[in-house]
Amino acid sequence: MTLAAPEPPPAKYGGRHTVTLIPGDGIGPELLNHVRELFRFSCVPVDFEVVHVDSASTSEDDINNAITAIRRNGVALKGNIETNHTMPSNHKSRNNLLRTSLDLYANVMHCQSLPGVQTRHKNIDIIIIRENTEGEYSSLEHESVTGVVESLKIITRNNSLRIADYAFKLAREKGRRRVTAVHKANIMKLADGLFLQCCKEVASGYPDIEFDSMIVDNTTMQLVSRPHQFDVMVMPNLYGNVVSNVCAGLVGGPGLVPGANYGRDYAVFETATRNTGKSIANRNIANPTAMLLASCLMLDHLKLHDYANMVRGAILTTMNETRLHTVDIGGQGTTSEVVQSIMRIIQSGGPLTTEI
Amino acid sequence: MFIAARSALFLVSRRLQPWTRVKKRTANNLKSPAVCCQRKKSSYTPPPAKYGGRHTVTLIPGDGIGPELLNHVRELFRFCCVPVDFEIVRVDSSASSEDDINNAVTAIKRNGVALKGNIETNHNLPPSHKSKNNLLRTSLDLYANVMHCQSLPGVPTRHKDVDVIIIRENTEGEYSNLEHENVPGVVESLKIITRVNSLRIAEYAFNLAREKGRRKVTAVHKANIMKLGDGLFLQSCKEVAAGYPDITFDNMIVDNTTMQLVSKPQQFDVMVMPNLYGNVVSNVCAGLVGGPGLVPGVNYGKDYAVFETATRNTGKSIANKNIANPTATLLASCLMLDHLKLHAYAKMIRKAVLKTLSETQLHTADLGGQGTTSEVVHTIMQEIQRGGPRTSEQI
């Protein structure tokens, strides 16, 4: 899914890829352990370089080490790193730092209804492309006068053109018919007006793809009543956050949807809604689907398509046929039961495994 | 050292000034009662625009479906002999001068209460052309937008028993209209959060929760990313919460909130939030209970109140086709009657509206039915007539 720029050589030696692994906090470590277990079981030629990031420490060394590791390897799989609101404001969000330092400008989330999961809406299939580096997440705030805080939302022409281009290219690649830009240009005329204008300019270069726009409040209301009208959506950072969470809620919850952050040279894979899941950590009840599907996206990115399809097929079979569901989607299964079931299905699929 | 002493004296005198100012203020109070009334914030309300038992309310038709729905409101009020006269002020959304909207603001300041349709904001006009709706809200300082989202019986929805009150800060936040392009291709948009407004809206929310007997207030924010801005909002809410120990206070990040709303909306009771999140969350909730045609919204300020539909849709594509759902506008007019203390009329109309919706099942196209706007209004009038003698002759 990366654009055609000169790519750095893949971190592949002797046929095995090296991928950075950032456990994060909450349910991150346990789910990523399951991913490693599964990969070892399925003999996937990927080695993980684990980099721990301590969310409580104020120094930025940890996250800088992680960034260096990702620059070296090119690909990463991460859990969410907690951001403590009560710490002083110069303590930036680690996840945000990572995204901006590596210039991972496109966050892509493919929301699909899974057949075995009970939801109020059926057959949803929406791709959400969210600008990942600027917008409201610029971390530029100041309090010039006590009691009055100004928070800057930055929209630039370059980044808007870039994300719009990414969206249309992706739509074309996947054979999608329509791209919808989500904005609030009636109120933020210059900022979202610029974003909308950039999308329109890029749209004119893709006459085969229909382009329309919708205001974010109307979008969220339509998503809740008639989500089938949407195909591909592109939007700035904050609206992307809200809209992707609404869509995740529509297809069954945060435990089911994987997300990918793409930059020109790097790609980082994680769950789409970036939940830390502190309240369910280490209780063996978290849903591993999102993280496992994210690892499949990573395998696709590394061009290990056979392994990706094998793992994905096993996950979907577990979800849809054996109906082994975790608590968040209304079942009784534990995380390890689900992972075991996936491993059994992989084993029954062919000889490509170690012993269980 | 002399300079230091002088500056020290200056600082000290500046510190003393507030006290001397306060003293002058109380002295003024004793001298002129009119000035005293204006200074005392909590108990002074402007006299209602009521003469001979009839209230005058400003009516702003707006664009799209606004004019037709507000005509139905007037028709209904005339039919029910509601003692309200409407002063109509038209606002032309395409004119670039602000005279129209200034006239509207003056009329509302005179009458104190208004009922409005949404005024369209054309994105293609230059950025100096501000949103008229926004201008109205900020000039009148209508700081609280209140939307009560209730599942109505008789409307088929995927979620049942939703009952959420959303209180949204209405004047600042992302809607400050302060944007600039210092460097070509780079736009900075300012989101302003102030302590005063945050305390004010939080106070409003808790007061309302207490009045209505609600148990929980949830603040919605994104303080993990906008630490200073939303951090200040959250902190103000916490401070106010400390003064209401009978009400539970918790907070939730906006992305998680929208996801929870879509899966389990019954967990929410009263929600308070800054402007943009309020916009998104109120639209999600409107979608949950059946759509934009059902929910009324109110904008309250200290002295003024403006009633409109909660999701502020212009409805250009369905204008003048007689298919718009009049429920939201009619319920908004009932809220207005309640505000004017005409409770009997408000109850009568509200009951008729809800009965039409749930028992006769006469639904407009947005709810999946076949009814037209006029059929619905007609049925409501029939209901009211059946209820008692208080109507004019011809339907």
CATH number of the domain bearing residue A219: 3.40.718.10
Chain A hits for B158, CB-CB cut-off 8 Å, are 120-121
* Same domain for A193 and A261: no
Stretch among A250-264, B22-36, B247-261 having the lowest mean pLDDT: B22-36
In Å, how far are B266, B301, B328 from B297, measured between CA atoms? 20, 13, 8
- State how far the Cα of B334 lies from the Cα of B349, in Å rounded to an integer: 7
In a domain, A352, yes or no: no
In a domain, A325, yes or no: yes
B179·A148 Cβ contact <8 A: no
Q: Do the Cβ atoms of B60 and B52 come closer than 8 Å? A: no
* Same domain for A226 and A262: no
Q: What is the pLDDT averaged over residues A242-262?
A: 94
Determine which helix (DSSP H) or strand (DSSP E) holds B29, and give its type and residue range: helix B2-31
Q: Do the Cβ atoms of A49 and A73 come closer than 8 Å? A: yes
Predicted TM-score (pTM) of the model is 0.86
Q: Do the Cβ atoms of A116 and A321 come closer than 8 Å? A: yes
Stretch among A133-137, A246-250, B294-298 having the lowest mean pLDDT: A133-137
- State how far the Cα of A225 lies from the Cα of B311, in Å rounded to an integer: 14
Stretch among B70-74, B124-128, B167-171 having the lowest mean pLDDT: B124-128
As beta bridge partners, residue A233 has A128, A180
Q: Do the Cβ atoms of A159 and A133 come closer than 8 Å? A: yes
Q: Indicate the residue type of A323.
A: R
Q: What is the 3-state secondary structure (H, E, C) of chain A?
A: CCCCCCCCCCCEECCEEEEEEECCCCCHHHHHHHHHHHHHHCCCCEEEEECCCCCCCCCCHHHHHHHHHHHHHCEEEECCCCCCCCCCCCCCCHHHHHHHHCCCCEEEEEEECCCCCCCCCCCCEEEEEEECCCEHHHCCEEEEECCEEEEEEEEEHHHHHHHHHHHHHHHHHCCCCEEEEEECCCCCCCHHHHHHHHHHHHHHCCCCCEEEEEEHHHHHHHHHHCHHHCCEEEECHHHHHHHHHHHHHHHCCCCCCEEEEECCCCEEEEECCCCCCHHHCCCCCCCCHHHHHHHHHHHHHCCCHHHHHHHHHHHHHHHHCCCCCEHHHCCCECHHHHHHHHHHHHHHHCCCCCCC
* Same domain for A324 and A272: yes
- State how far the Cα of A335 lies from the Cα of A27, in Å rounded to an integer: 11
Q: What is the DSSP string of B215-276?
A: -EEEEEE-TTTSTTHHHHHHHHHHHHHHT-TTSEEEEEEHHHHHHHHHH-GGG--EEEE-HH
pLDDT at B131: 84
pLDDT at B16: 43
Best to test chain A binding among B227, B261, B288, B309 (most A CBs inside 10 Å): B227
As given in the structure block, the two tokens for residue A218 are 């109307």
Nearest CA in chain B to A136: B226
Instruction: Provide, rounded to the nearest whole percent, the portion of chain B with pLDDT above 90.
Output: 64
- The answer, for B21 touching chain A at a CB cutoff of 8 Å, is no
Establish whether this prediction's ipTM goes over 0.95: no
pLDDT greater than 80 at residue B101 = yes
Of B314, B310, B119, B277, the C-alpha closest to B201 is B277
In Å, how far are A39, B71, B209, B210, B247 from B241, measured between CA atoms? 49, 42, 11, 11, 8
Residues A333-351: pLDDT tens digits? 999 999 999 999 999 886 6
Average pLDDT, chain B: 85
Nearest CA in chain B to A248: B259
pLDDT greater than 90 at residue B88 = yes
- State how far the Cα of B18 lies from the Cα of A292, in Å rounded to an integer: 63
Determine which helix (DSSP H) or strand (DSSP E) holds B72, and give its type and residue range: helix B66-79
SS3 B212: coil
Number of CB pairs, chain A paired with chain B, less than 8 A apart: 173
pLDDT at A7: 58
Tokens 């599964």 appear where? A38
In a domain, A170, yes or no: yes
Residue A323: which domain range? 8-108+254-347
pLDDT greater than 80 at residue B6 = no
In a domain, A115, yes or no: no
- State how far the Cα of A208 lies from the Cα of B257, in Å rounded to an integer: 37
* Same domain for A245 and A130: yes
* Same domain for A237 and A133: yes
Best to test chain B binding among A80, A141, A216 (most B CBs inside 10 Å): A141
pLDDT at B50: 78
Of A353, A342, A310, A335, the C-alpha closest to A40 is A353
A151·B193 Cβ contact <8 A: yes
- State how far the Cα of B334 lies from the Cα of B328, in Å rounded to an integer: 10
What part of B 52-111 touches A (C-beta under 8 Å)? Answer: none
* Same domain for A317 and A213: no
Q: Do the Cβ atoms of A38 and A311 come closer than 8 Å? A: yes
Determine which helix (DSSP H) or strand (DSSP E) holds B182, and give its type and residue range: strand B179-183
pLDDT at B61: 94
* Same domain for A259 and A236: no
- The alpha carbon of residue A188 is apart from the nearest alpha carbon of chain B, in Å, by 7
Q: Which residue has the higher pLDDT, B203 or A352?
A: B203
- State how far the Cα of B154 lies from the Cα of B356, in Å rounded to an integer: 9
- State how far the Cα of A96 lies from the Cα of A238, in Å rounded to an integer: 13
Nearest CA in chain B to A148: B194
A245·B131 Cβ contact <8 A: no
- The answer, for B228 touching chain A at a CB cutoff of 8 Å, is yes
| pLDDT band of A175, cuts 50, 70, 90 | very high
Q: How many CB atoms lie within 10 A of CB B6?
A: 10
In a domain, A114, yes or no: no
Stretch among A277-286, A296-305, B37-46, B249-258 having the lowest mean pLDDT: B37-46
| pLDDT band of B249, cuts 50, 70, 90 | very high
pLDDT at A340: 93
pLDDT at B253: 94
Cβ-nearest to B225 among A96, A216, A218 = A96
B260·A249 Cβ contact <8 A: yes
Best to test chain B binding among A140, A190, A327 (most B CBs inside 10 Å): A190
Chain B hits for A191, CB-CB cut-off 8 Å, are 179, 187-189
Q: Domain ends where: A212, A227, A251? A: A251
b/e burial code for range B281-307 (CB count within 10 A of at least 16 → b): bbbbbbbbbbbbbbbbbbbbbeebbbb
Q: What is the pLDDT averaged over residues A119-146?
A: 90
Residues B358-394: pLDDT tens digits? 877 789 988 888 899 999 999 999 999 988 766 665 4
Dihedral sign from CA coordinates of A173, A179, A184, A188: positive
Domain count across chain A:
2
pLDDT at A254: 92
Residues B295-326: pLDDT tens digits? 999 999 999 999 999 999 888 899 999 999 99
Q: Domain ends where: A251, A274, A290? A: A251
Q: Do the Cβ atoms of B211 and A123 come closer than 8 Å? A: no
| pLDDT band of A115, cuts 50, 70, 90 | confident
In a domain, A244, yes or no: yes
* Same domain for A302 and A214: no
Q: Is B246 exposed, middle or buried (0-12, 13-18, 19+ CB in 10 A)?
A: exposed
B228·A89 Cβ contact <8 A: yes
- State how far the Cα of B183 lies from the Cα of A43, in Å rounded to an integer: 52
Cβ-nearest to B187 among A148, A191, A220 = A191
- State how far the Cα of A238 lies from the Cα of A155, in Å rounded to an integer: 12
| pLDDT band of B39, cuts 50, 70, 90 | very low
The total number of residues shown for chain A amounts to 356
pLDDT greater than 60 at residue B23 = no
Instruction: Provide, rounded to the nearest whole percent, the portion of chain B with pLDDT above 70.
Output: 86
pLDDT greater than 50 at residue B38 = no
As given in the structure block, the two tokens for residue B358 are 């749930």
* Same domain for A169 and A148: yes
* Same domain for A101 and A56: yes
Tokens 């749930």 appear where? B358
As beta bridge partners, residue A19 has A48
CA angle A342, A345, A351 (to 5 degrees): 120
Q: What is the pLDDT averaged over residues B210-238?
A: 93
A273·B190 Cβ contact <8 A: no
In a domain, A165, yes or no: yes
A85·B286 Cβ contact <8 A: no
pLDDT greater than 50 at residue B93 = yes
pLDDT greater than 90 at residue B240 = yes
In a domain, A260, yes or no: yes
What part of B 356-395 touches A (C-beta under 8 Å)? Answer: none
Q: Do the Cβ atoms of B326 and B373 come closer than 8 Å? A: yes
As beta bridge partners, residue A110 has A127
pLDDT greater than 70 at residue B122 = yes
pLDDT at B29: 40
Q: Do the Cβ atoms of A345 and A318 come closer than 8 Å? A: yes
pLDDT greater than 90 at residue A330 = no
Q: What is the pLDDT averaged over residues A73-89?
A: 86
A190·B181 Cβ contact <8 A: yes
B191·A151 Cβ contact <8 A: yes
B226·A141 Cβ contact <8 A: yes
- The answer, for B279 touching chain A at a CB cutoff of 8 Å, is yes
Cβ-nearest to A218 among B127, B187, B283 = B283
B75-84, B168-177, B379-388: range with highest mean pLDDT: B75-84
* Same domain for A242 and A308: no
B191·A150 Cβ contact <8 A: yes
| pLDDT band of A8, cuts 50, 70, 90 | low
- State how far the Cα of B38 lies from the Cα of B35, in Å rounded to an integer: 5
What part of B 112-151 touches A (C-beta under 8 Å)? Answer: 121, 123, 127, 131, 134
- The answer, for B187 touching chain A at a CB cutoff of 8 Å, is yes
* Same domain for A260 and A235: no
Chain A hits for B223, CB-CB cut-off 8 Å, are 85
Rg (alpha carbons) of chain B, rounded to whole number? 23
pLDDT at A305: 93
As beta bridge partners, residue A268 has A76, A261
Q: Domain ends where: A205, A227, A251? A: A251
Q: What is the number of helices (H) and of strands (E) in chain B?
A: 12, 13
Q: What is the pLDDT averaged over residues B232-249?
A: 96
A250·B291 Cβ contact <8 A: no
Best to test chain A binding among B138, B172, B225, B257 (most A CBs inside 10 Å): B225
Q: What is the pLDDT averaged over residues B75-100?
A: 90
| pLDDT band of A187, cuts 50, 70, 90 | confident
pLDDT greater than 80 at residue B20 = no
pLDDT greater than 80 at residue A193 = yes
Chain B hits for A194, CB-CB cut-off 8 Å, are 185, 187
